[in-house]
Amino acid sequence: MAFEAYATGRYSDREVADLLNREGYRTTGNWGERKFTKDTVNRMLKNVFYLGKTKYKGEIYPGKHEPLIDQDLFDKCQEVRSRRRSKSRALGGHKRVYIFSGLARCHICSLTLRCTATQSKGKWRYYRHIPDVRGHECSAPSQFMRADLLEKQWAEIISQIQLPEDWQQQIERLASDADERAALLKERSYAIEQMRRLTRLYRDLLIDESEFRQERERLSRK
């Protein structure tokens, strides 16, 4: 019954356990009768014992008992498991990166922009200005812009920025006060580091997947 239920692909281990418990099934083992848990169901559905086989030191041997289920059903369960696993990985592992998260603001009301992605294809990321939703007053209307375009523009801008060769001397000339100079230098180096970080981050984002795979293969051949 557990195998049949799981093979439909509609139940998780936990749901199969609930189903068995509701029907009054209990595990039999060294600790007596227990309710099923997601772990006992997980182990059971992978156990070749139900195929009439036994496992000894990692090897599978034909057992002396009759199979309780057939191979097809067993295989179907393993297939469902691997499909569920890759599905949950695809959902959970997809983290989107927003360069301007918490930084981009509306130039009128200075409210930070919200980062969202379309649910349907999950393809487009957006920065959104939504003062009304957030209970904020702003003369600029609610609007959203595509994150990839905005970030590309930004990358073009920062690639143009060049610090003058003699920026240190310039600062020294401009700021005679020692503390002020130190603060300025600190701010400047922080800005440089920020720019460097953004450029690097952006370059990483620009590399598309096929490029990434090629690169990885190239490296792994070395």
Positions in the binding site for Zn ion (CB under 5 A): 106, 108-109, 138, 140
In whole angstroms, give the CA distance from residue 73 to residue 77.
Answer: 6
In whole angstroms, give the CA distance from residue 113 to residue 8.
Answer: 43
- Pair 6, 77: CB distance under 8 Å: yes
Q: What is the CA radius of gyration of the chain?
A: 30
Closest separation between CB of residue 132 and Zn ion, Å? 10
Rounded to the nearest 5°, which phi and psi values hold at 30? Answer: -60, -25
Q: Which CB atom, from 138 or from 184, has the smaller least distance to Zn ion?
A: 138
Q: Which CB atom, from 108 or from 192, has the smaller least distance to Zn ion?
A: 108
What's the distance, Cα to Cα, between the start and end of the chain in Å? 51
- Pair 104, 77: CB distance under 8 Å: no
- Tell me the Ramachandran region of residue 83: left when phi exceeds 0, alpha when psi lies from -120 to 50, beta otherwise: alpha
Closest separation between CB of residue 111 and Zn ion, Å? 5
Q: Which CB atom, from 106 or from 205, has the smaller least distance to Zn ion?
A: 106
In whole angstroms, give the CA distance from residue 205 to residue 190.
Answer: 22
Query: Residue 140 has which token pair?
Result: 């600029």
Closest separation between CB of residue 39 and Zn ion, Å? 51
Going by C-alpha positions, the residue among 35, 34, 37, 57 that lies closest to residue 45 is: 37
Closest separation between CB of residue 129 and Zn ion, Å? 6
Closest separation between CB of residue 116 and Zn ion, Å? 17
Closest separation between CB of residue 156 and Zn ion, Å? 25
Q: Which CB atom, from 138 or from 171, has the smaller least distance to Zn ion?
A: 138
Q: Which CB atom, from 138 or from 175, has the smaller least distance to Zn ion?
A: 138
Q: Which CB atom, from 108 or from 174, has the smaller least distance to Zn ion?
A: 108
